[in-house]
Amino acid sequence: MNIVAIKDIDELDGVFFKYINEVLPTQDGGWLSVGMRPDLDVGENSYSLAAWTSKMSAMGDSIWERMDTVIWNTNTPGGWGEVYQNGAVELPSGSIITCGYSKFPSPTGARAYAFLLKMDKDGCIEPGCWRTVNTVNLEKIPSLRAYPNPITSEHLTIEGDGIFDVSIYDLSGRLITEKPRQRDMAVLDCTDWASGVYFAKIKIDGIILTKKLIKE
């Protein structure tokens, strides 16, 4: 029962909302922890709790950490967003999936969202990303529409406001087609697509959205 080692992962920063909810060993001998901590950069009169994921070596040295604020409310007196990240699993490939829920406890418009985050072994949502705070106001996410879905014709149309990039992947993650710099509308030829499930990855205004598509 003797203490072998103590690791301070992060300073308190004068805020008491810091929790580690689960720690699990990783295939490379290290440790992965998930929990939540404050994001102090969301603006005046508000704060946000971020989904906090960190990776340590077998010796307890910090390798990387990331924060994801799934929902937040800014510039509203007394407004805040809360994120509770409760669990994680490491896949055989080394990728990591974490889960939890976020809520917006405003007196008006209160709502909650369950979420899954998938990242590679380096803590990146996509290759080459920076491990940083990804604050997103869900009320400002652009509206996009993909039709027909299920796809029953030779063309798929994706509509949005502004300029966006579109990439289509099959269920195994293979890139099928892509159309960069589309303005308000993208029309994709899906004549040669086999029947099955596809995913449209759409990047607009610095936000990446994913839509599930079915080709009949």
Helix (H) / strand (E) element for 87: namely strand 79-90
C-alpha atoms less than 13 angstroms from C-alpha of 20 in its C-beta half-sphere: 14
What is the reported pLDDT for 133?
42
Nearest CA-CA partner of 116 in 170, 68, 174: 68
Tokens of 85: 């990240």
Strands 31-39 and 207-215: unpaired
Count of Cβ atoms closer than 10 Å to residue 7 Cβ: 11
3-class secondary-structure state, position 139? helix
Contact 148, 175 (CB under 8 A): no
Count of Cβ atoms closer than 10 Å to residue 204 Cβ: 19
Contact 76, 107 (CB under 8 A): no
What is the reported pLDDT for 126?
58
Contact 195, 216 (CB under 8 A): yes
DSSP character at residue 79: E
Alpha-carbon span 123 to 131, nearest angstrom: 7
CA torsion sign for 118, 124, 129, 132 is positive
| Stated length of the chain | 216
User: What is the mean pLDDT for each group of 10 consecutive residues in the chain (216 residues)?
Assistant: 75 67 92 82 59 86 80 52 86 91 68 84 67 47 82 91 88 86 92 90 79 87
What is the reported pLDDT for 132?
43
Helix (H) / strand (E) element for 115: namely strand 111-119
Domains of the chain: 19-139 (no CATH), 141-215 (2.60.40.1220)
